[in-house]
Structure 1
């Protein structure tokens, strides 16, 4: 059935009317603030009152600021460790859930519950656990390592944040890995078993190559999210003890909105955005290359 000119024109107009509101909202609520932030990164604005242009001075000062260097080192260490743990634990649980066990669907729902809870709420719960519950248990059992709050130790406080983040973040990776495992044909495992392949050999030769695309998604999203760690730190340590758990996000927030360094920390945010985008592209390029070779 042929369509006249009038019908084609109505379809085009409907398409634009559907896309235009979303485009306007995205441009107003996302693009304009980003452009404003880039503009203010070249100023000495405290976030209020008068300001003046300082050119690239903010960007030059960032590389000489020990606070920024320490925050970047902490953030990358935290993101790397948490990304590895989340994916290893998530894949292990997904493999278990994908096996023929009872209550499989129920367990999937149980494991996904942490992901739908608010990070601040989980952070406060784990803060109470590390500050009060575990020390009480440690004192009762005579375990010196648990007798004091983990979050009060500058050397170990970040471990508590990692534990909480892995507990919450593994839920998403489990769901993604489960979706990937369901795409692997069962016949491949049956043929491998007939050839005498062990479970470990089947995992490396069949499972991992077949779900590598899902592994790529999990790693990229996990590293991106954990580089932006903020809520967990605010709820559990507030950046302390001292400045031992100050991430880049916490530094930008405190310096920009509480310390009168709006322009300076906006420059920090611009650099951080570039770093995250660069890491994402680098990860995708490397992991996609491995996916093709697999």
Structure 2
């Protein structure tokens, strides 16, 4: 009897767990799984996004991508942009977190709030602010100070426009990783620092062998988040340059938008999206596997 009672209790618990997770599963399926499958299907068609009629063309869109110079150039810019975004965000976030965690710094809560403000601002608003700053403020400042590098609008320079967008992105994106790294630093056992000091370790050695080891799991999370943000960057590019000058700052996100809504090549735009999704998934998986070997044991 006791055995049957335990089975009924387990069965009731499983049924309860199922109904609790069912709403989330339905929402996830409706807004992610189904659109993903539909997008995958449309990548094999020539649908223009409006017409009710379209043709299934197999892998023609994927074959076209291989020889599409516009896609290759856009992919190259997006990968370079993502690389500098990841490096910049991790570097500045760790640096600011170390400063805020310093025992000699007073007003920790105040400075944390100040550095977190950019994270709550609209991306388009940030983009417009930096666009006006590049167009008006910096050239005027450069002319008054006699600095030739600042005397012209960097957004008109194909080689520098991308860095203008990148700076705005890093300024906004550093806030949340900074908080994550600050929380991770609080979990580093103080005994390890004391032992390192007794052994005569310098600050750089303590950071390399103690601090950095405990930051690796957080770095892994930030890496994936910024990789996704970099490969999917759209708001900053549209707000600051629109993909110019001469397509020098066209990202994958803006390319997909223009293909779908300006050129009415919806099927082809979805194909680009599928490739980017697979690239993000593959890179994230490799990165997680590599960092798992270096994570500090919880024990």
TM-based fold match above 0.5: yes
Written as runs of structure 1 = structure 2, the 5 A alignment for 1:26-175 is: 26-49=28-51, 50-100=53-103, 101-175=105-179
Question: Which region of structure 1 is more displaced relative to structure 2, 76-85 or 145-154?
Answer: 145-154
Which ranges of structure 1 fall in alignment gaps of 5 or more residues?
A: none
Which ranges of structure 2 fall in alignment gaps of 5 or more residues?
A: none
Q: Does 1:284 align with 2:288?
A: yes
Structure 1 length normalisation: TM-score?
0.94
- Decide whether the 8 Å contact of 1:224 with 1:280 is kept in 2: no
Question: Which region of structure 1 is more displaced relative to structure 2, 86-95 or 185-194?
Answer: 185-194
Structure 2 match to 1:194: 198
Three-state SS of the structure 2 residue aligned to 1:113 is: helix
- Decide whether the 8 Å contact of 2:181 with 2:218 is kept in 1: yes
Question: Which region of structure 1 is more displaced relative to structure 2, 12-21 or 264-273?
Answer: 12-21
- Aligned residues, how many? 292
- The change in CA–CA distance for 1:7 and 1:195 in structure 2 (over 3 A counts) is closer
**Cα-Cα RMSD:** 1.7
Structure 2 match to 1:262: 266
Q: Distance in 2 between matches of 1:66 and 1:272?
A: 16
- The change in CA–CA distance for 1:186 and 1:41 in structure 2 (over 3 A counts) is same
Three-state SS of the structure 2 residue aligned to 1:290 is: coil
Three-state SS of the structure 2 residue aligned to 1:75 is: helix
- Decide whether the 8 Å contact of 2:213 with 2:294 is kept in 1: no
- The change in CA–CA distance for 1:8 and 1:209 in structure 2 (over 3 A counts) is closer
Q: Distance in 2 between matches of 1:108 and 1:43?
A: 50
- The change in CA–CA distance for 1:292 and 1:195 in structure 2 (over 3 A counts) is closer
Q: Distance in 2 between matches of 1:117 and 1:281?
A: 31
Deviation at 1:92, TM superposition (A): 0.8
Cα deviation digits, residues 196-239 of structure 1 (max 9, x gap): 11111111111111222112211222122211111110110000
Structure 2 length normalisation: TM-score?
0.93
Question: Which region of structure 1 is more displaced relative to structure 2, 243-252 or 21-30?
Answer: 21-30
Deviation at 1:7, TM superposition (A): 6.1
Q: Distance in 1 between matches of 2:185 and 2:206?
A: 13
